Amino acid sequence: MFKELGLVVKHSQDSNAIIGEGQCLWAIRHFLPEVPVPEVYGWTQENGATFVYMEYIEGITLHDRWDTLMSYLRQAPDDQFIGSITRGAVRDRVFTDTNLPPVGPFSSVAEFHDSMSDMFKLPAKFNKPDLDPADIMDPYRETLPDDCPIHFTHADLNPVNIMVSKDSPCRVVAIVDWEQSGWYPAYWEFCKAELTIEPYSEWQAAYLPKILDEPDCIESFYSYARAFGP
Give me the pLDDT at residue 68, please.
Answer: 58
* Low-confidence residues of the chain: pLDDT under 50: 70-72
CB 88 within 8 A of CB 20: yes
pLDDT value for 214: 94
- The pLDDT tens digits of the residues spanning 105-125 come to 999 999 999 999 999 999 888
> Residue 22: inside a domain, yes or no?
no
Smallest CA-to-CA distance from 217 within 136, 144, 141 is with 144
In terms of residue numbers, what domain contains 83?
59-230
| Residue 41 forms part of a structural domain | no
Predicted TM-score of the model (pTM): 0.72
Which pLDDT tens digit goes with each residue over 40-82? 999 898 888 999 999 998 887 766 665 555 434 577 788 899 9
**199 lies in some domain:** yes
Which pLDDT belongs to residue 128?
83
Residue 37 lies inside a defined structural domain of this protein: no
The verdict on residue 171 lying in a domain is yes
| pLDDT for the residue numbered 33 | 82
Establish if 137 belongs to a structural domain.
yes
What local confidence, expressed as pLDDT, does residue 125 receive?
83
Query: Strands 162-164 and 172-175, how do they pair?
Result: antiparallel
Give me the number of domains the chain comprises: 1
Residue 39 inside a domain? The answer is: no
CB 67, CB 61: distance < 8 Å: no
Determine, yes or no, domain membership for 91.
Answer: yes
Angstrom distance (rounded) from CA 149 to CA 184: 9
pLDDT computed for residue 58 by the predictor = 83
